């Protein structure tokens, strides 16, 4: 006898439930203001919304003390929420609104909230060039150090700060895997005698090695880190990174000195290396320094298997700022060395972002992109990379970031075709993949 709609319904075991993976996918697409209401839909919706609502405690100039008092009260009432807070950041935002360290009551509120955080994985402090760590009240400073020392913290980012000459407080934290220092300067610069000796790097298979060291405009601090590695064996992990990032913005004599020492003690065991220009200021801006060719000393990187160069397109018409000729010269030198070249991946990324201060309209890059893909540098790159020395090379990827650009599909197809035509020998070599891509950053 056929079942009726009523008998089929009576056999149902309960209301229909979406798979958790689908629920999480829906939540991941929501705007921030929609996360709260979504969390009230049911138990399956609650954890993922809390992940996005509480993942970062970010303190700026807007009532940081009051916000931390409210957060402390919330965490004391619902301690389970603290596990969702995986990133802590505090920033002056700019020198004119500096607030960190100006109020004892505010510092006390922040310190009391920080003390309740036990699941933070990433920490970031940005002083906007208006903050010295000595200026932070001791209570707050100690709370920050205590948080850095927690075994859950694996990444520390310090930006635009003044700190003591020997930053050994965090070099000894064994849980740190990634260290980012940008525009960090000491109160007193170390003399050249500080680095007359250089530390021996850790073994390439040592599990204590730092995963990532990212350095920009901090030459004296680099030498301080090296000096710490000489004095304390535990600090050698900082100068023995698996992956190294070097920023060329604001390059000066101090950074050149620090780089000279770091190149000798760290480069031989670095496995991934990235150089990034990352400056969108006009050429006459003080931080827009000429490209330093010494950062492309690839012959020092004996274990290097991945190299990435991130360049800013509006510099490429200016000889002193264009990194590509320097790269071609270094690759040519590398191809003639007697040492084994272990390079497997070469990534070249070109950013077509507008210069700061320009009109907000999207850039029309049609002519400039087509002109650049026709340059003879690509044929030269093609000829160098098919030499026997680069026999282990598996992938060459050339990317163009066009986030704020006007670029019709047909123009991109022409530009890509011109580029691949110039890379004809690499395209025919067995085992070597050549990719030409464009991409747009997704704004959060």
Dihedrals phi, psi of 161, to nearest 5 degrees: -125, 155
Query: How is residue 343 written in tokens?
Result: 């390079």
314: closest CA among 286, 345, 284, 338?
Answer: 284
Residue ranges per domain, the chain? 18-54, 57-163, 172-268, 271-438
Structure-token match 């996005």, residue found? 52
Residue 191 has pLDDT above 90, yes or no: no
The C-alpha atoms of residue 189 and residue 150 are separated, in whole angstroms, by 29
**Residue 315 reports pLDDT greater than 90:** no
Rounded to two decimals, the pTM is 0.87
Using DSSP's 3-state secondary structure scheme, residue 122 falls into strand
pLDDT tens per residue, range 149-168 = 899 999 999 988 877 644 44
Please determine, for residue 4, whether its predicted confidence score (pLDDT) is greater than 80: no
Average pLDDT score, the chain: 83
Mean pLDDT calculated for residue range 384-411: 90
Does residue 422 sit in helix, strand or coil? helix
SS3 245: strand
Q: What's the pLDDT tens digit per position in 99-119? A: 565 677 788 888 888 888 999
346 by Cβ neighbours in 10 Å (0-12 / 13-18 / 19+) ranks as buried
What share of the chain has pLDDT > 90, as a percent? Answer: 34
267 pLDDT band (50/70/90 cuts)? very high
| Six-digit token string for 270 | 């670095």
pLDDT exceeds 50 at position 10: no
Taking only the tens place, the pLDDT of each residue in 367-376 is: 888 888 888 9
Mean pLDDT: which of 122-131, 142-151, 290-299 is highest?
A: 290-299
The model's pLDDT over 209-253, given as tens digits with 9 standing for 90+, comes to 999 999 999 998 888 888 878 777 777 888 899 999 999 988 989
What average pLDDT score do residues 181-201 get?
72
């Amino acid at each position: 006898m056929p079942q009726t709609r009523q008998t089929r319904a009576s056999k149902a075991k309960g209301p229909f439930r979406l798979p958790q993976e689908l629920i999480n996918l829906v939540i991941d697409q929501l705007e921030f203001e929609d996360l709260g209401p979504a969390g009230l839909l049911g138990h399956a919706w609650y954890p993922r919304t809390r992940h996005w609502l509480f993942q970062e405690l970010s303190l700026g100039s807007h009532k940081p003390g009051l916000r931390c008092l409210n957060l402390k009260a919330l965490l004391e009432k619902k301690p389970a929420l603290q596990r969702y807070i995986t990133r802590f950041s505090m920033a002056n935002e700019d020198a004119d609104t500096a607030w960190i360290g100006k109020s004892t009551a505010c510092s006390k509120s922040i310190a009391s909230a920080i003390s309740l955080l036990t699941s933070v994985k990433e920490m970031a402090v940005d002083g906007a060039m208006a903050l010295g760590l000595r200026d932070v009240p001791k209570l707050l400073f100690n709370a920050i150090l205590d948080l850095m020392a927690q075994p859950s913290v694996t990444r520390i980012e310090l930006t635009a700060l003044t700190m003591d000459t020997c930053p050994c407080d965090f070099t000894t934290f064994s849980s740190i895997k990634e260290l980012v220092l940008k525009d960090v300067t000491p109160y007193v610069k170390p003399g050249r005698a500080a680095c007359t000796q250089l530390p021996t790097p850790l073994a390439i298979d040592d599990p204590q090695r730092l995963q990532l060291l990212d350095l920009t405009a901090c030459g004296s601090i680099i030498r301080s880190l090296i000096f710490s590695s000489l004095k304390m064996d535990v600090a050698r992990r900082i100068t023995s990174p698996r992956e190294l990032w070097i920023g060329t913005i604001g390059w000066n004599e101090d950074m050149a000195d620090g780089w000279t020492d770091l190149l000798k003690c760290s480069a031989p065991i670095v496995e991934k290396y990235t150089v990034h220009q990352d400056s969108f200021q006009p050429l006459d801006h003080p931080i827009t320094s000429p490209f330093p060719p010494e950062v492309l000393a690839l012959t020092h990187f004996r274990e290097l298997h991945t190299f990435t160069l991130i360049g800013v397109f509006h510099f490429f018409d200016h000889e002193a700022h264009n990194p590509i000729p320097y790269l071609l010269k270094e690759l040519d030198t590398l191809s003639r060395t007697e040492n084994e070249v272990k390079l497997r991946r070469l990534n070249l990324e070109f950013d077509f972002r507008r210069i700061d201060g320009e009109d907000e309209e999207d850039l029309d890059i049609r002519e400039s992109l087509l002109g650049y893909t026709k340059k003879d540098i690509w044929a030269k790159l093609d000829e160098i990379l098919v030499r026997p020395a680069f026999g282990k090379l598996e992938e060459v990827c050339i990317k163009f970031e066009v986030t704020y650009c006007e670029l019709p599909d047909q123009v991109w197809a022409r530009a890509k075709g011109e580029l691949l035509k110039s890379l004809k020998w690499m395209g025919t070599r067995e085992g070597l993949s050549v990719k030409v891509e464009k991409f747009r950053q997704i704004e959060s």
